[in-house]
A and B are shown apart, each in its own frame.
Chain A
């Protein structure tokens, strides 16, 4: 009986989170073009619906009804597997993100945490592990398409992901040192009580601002966004690893990219900007309203990071491949390592 209730609750939770994520993706496709439009002094999509707000629906319908083409000479099995291998790791990471207060509700004798699907004690490592699995979808997609451009895109992406994944992992070690936990729920709880307690500022200890900069740059690289979008560089590789994809399979890659963007924004919010905590105690409201204000502040911060992604795309040109590698290994990596050493020393002297 208890197992049944737990299963139903967890499935409901997963469903709710997935709907929220996919709705956010749909919203992002519109927002990105609108924001880019405003930054480039134009209107963005205006035709479908009032002010263009129905554009995501039109896009979705188009992708759904488009013909699904498998190129001649492609490896059919791998070609179908690659988009799934790309999408699943992007969505599975949301299982450990706490997007509201750390409450435990008793539902029919079952302890249930409404604002996090599962609080495992290695949450952040779980996200890193599955983020690295996402590379398979891209590499296999590029290889199985039987196209030079796709293969080049896939190979570039493999090298890029491996290089920058390391920097993501090292840049969060400082936060882990301060919080002495790998659980995202514990990390969030440790940042309660005002913005000076967020690990970005970390009042009374070593601020993780440098680590945050390294993290966000590496995260942009890991999600294959401009200025690190070499795997799909339109002007040189005709969209790279998904050149040959169309219809729903293309939509899967698209969803994976945006899903990864949201996931990375959530992780940045939780690790460096206090998760669902408000910048000031009084903005959090009374205890009974924490679920509402908590979710508001979490969403607000995540959308802030998503806006940053768009902003970068509108501002910066693409890096060259050797610049990308040199920057990752010779600039970001030493900074991340130095941050770990400094944080450890400061934390040892002023525990």
Chain B
């Protein structure tokens, strides 16, 4: 059952990810991406990471992709007639990544066989993974967590300064 679910989700993810790039209409691409986000969330659920699954939908599907659609419609991009001239770079990067994946599988050093932390029964008994994630974020991973928030703050300030061009000139 678990294997079947994994291959269903993985297959749909690969197919829709391909569709995102292949569709010429940006709106169709966005919808394919939406389907993909849901299936990634499904993968999280099969790993007993319900919190991550819902956050995946809430953040990516609910906020980021809506903003994408918003921009696409505002600019009224009807069709992307030509593919961008990134074919060579794309093929090169694809080959590198594929080679890496093949090497990893050949070496056999994957974590597939090992038990994931989510499958630990002790964690499930402590009241779900939401609390475990919270505890980890504020103890073991406190520094990366605060660092990420700082980077986001910089991005926010940057966005404000870029869009409101008058701000800096008035002060100087």
Q: Which chain A residues have a beta carbon within 8 Å of chain B's beta carbons?
A: 75, 78, 120-122, 125-126, 128-130, 132-133, 135-136, 139-140, 143, 151, 154-155, 158-159, 161-162, 165, 181-182
Contacts and interface: CB of A to CB of B under 8 A. Distances in A.
Nearest to A134: B62
Contact of A133 (B51, B55, B62): B62
B58 A125 contact: yes
Contact of A126 (B31, B54, B69): B54
Interface of B: 27, 31, 34, 50-51, 54-55, 57-58, 61-63, 66-67, 69-70, 73-74, 127-128, 130
Contacts of A165: 62-63
Given A121-B130, A129-B54, A133-B57, 8 more contacts: A128-B58, A132-B62, A132-B63, A132-B66, A136-B66, A143-B27, A143-B69, A155-B70
16 contacts: A120-B50, A121-B50, A122-B130, A125-B51, A125-B58, A126-B54, A132-B61, A136-B34, A136-B69, A139-B70, A155-B74, A158-B70, A159-B70, A162-B66, A165-B62, A181-B127
Q: Is the interface of A mostly helix, strand, loop or mixed?
A: helix
Given A129-B62, A132-B63, A162-B63, A121 B127 contact: yes
A126 B73 CA distance: 28
Contacts of B73: 139, 143, 151, 154-155
The 3 closest A-B pairs by CB, nearest first: A132-B62, A121-B128, A129-B58
Contacts of B67: 162
Contact of A122 (B27, B69, B74, B128): B128
Contacts of B69: 136, 139-140, 143, 158
A188 to B, nearest CB: 17
Contacts of B63: 132, 162, 165
Contacts of B70: 139, 155, 158-159
